[in-house]
Chains A and B, each alone.
Chain A
Amino acid sequence: ETGVTQTPRHLVMGMTNKKSLKCEQHLGHNAMYWYKQSAKKPLELMFVYSLEERVENNSVPSRFSPECPNSSHLFLHLHTLQPEDSALYLCASSSRPSGGEYNEQFFGPGTRLTVL
């Protein structure tokens, strides 16, 4: 596997289900991100992990729970979601140098989530 992979690619769940999205990066990066892409809306940053510590949480509802067990893996645990949470969830990764310059974020293909 190369780049950033996400599983599953498609997920349909009921509002009472609990599911998890998985992201894996094979690029040796140490920062990982979750973005939400809804129809006709800009990509929205949800969570940022740098060196496996959460550094940014953009006021995301608690029904979304991220987990970053190591620098290569990122999970998004889902529980009691609402239909309006249906969207494409994109994972990205980047390296993090000390200089503060932008480091390209490489995106995975996303998980298309439908909440019934």
Chain B
Amino acid sequence: GQQLNQSPQSMFIQEGEDVSMNCTSSSIFNTWLWYKQDPGEGPVLLIALYKAGELTSNGRLTAQFGITRKDSFLNISASIPSDVGIYFCAGQIGGGADGLTFGKGTHLIIQP
């Protein structure tokens, strides 16, 4: 089946630093998504990407959909304590009500 390879597995950064994480796949996805999960909660959608090469921002977050539709990165600028959590990339091959394929997640830890 499809797999998303997400890296890094975890990141230890200082508050104020920029963060970058990425996902790659051997499969082509129509839609690429970035979710964040806080402890005790379900994932929450941060950014959705629909077109190859698309670059989208949401506040301090920026994500790009690779031109081949097989990869994506997520950048967080000027990290703050509430950015702590697990970030997941996810892809959808079809559309509509199709399920999502998720990466293993990047655990972001901000050191004081």
Contacts and interface: CB of A to CB of B under 8 A. Distances in A.
Contacts of A45: 99-101
Interface stretch (B41-49, B53-61, B69-77): B41-49
A94 B101 CA distance: 16
Chain B: interface size category? 20 to 34
Contact of A107 (B43, B96, B97, B98): B43
B97 A43 contact: no
Given A42-B4, A110-B42, A94 B105 contact: no
Contacts of B4: 42
Interface string B1-45: 001100000000000000000000000001101000000111111
Contacts of A94: 97
Interface residues of A, number: 32
A110 B40 CA distance: 8
For B31, B41, B43, the residue with the greatest tally of chain A CB atoms inside 10 Å of its CB is B43
Given A4-B42, A48-B98, A107-B44, 15 more contacts: A42-B3, A42-B101, A43-B43, A43-B102, A45-B101, A50-B97, A56-B98, A56-B99, A94-B97, A101-B95, A102-B50, A104-B45, A105-B45, A109-B41, A110-B42
6 contacts: A42-B3, A43-B43, A48-B97, A100-B94, A102-B30, A104-B48
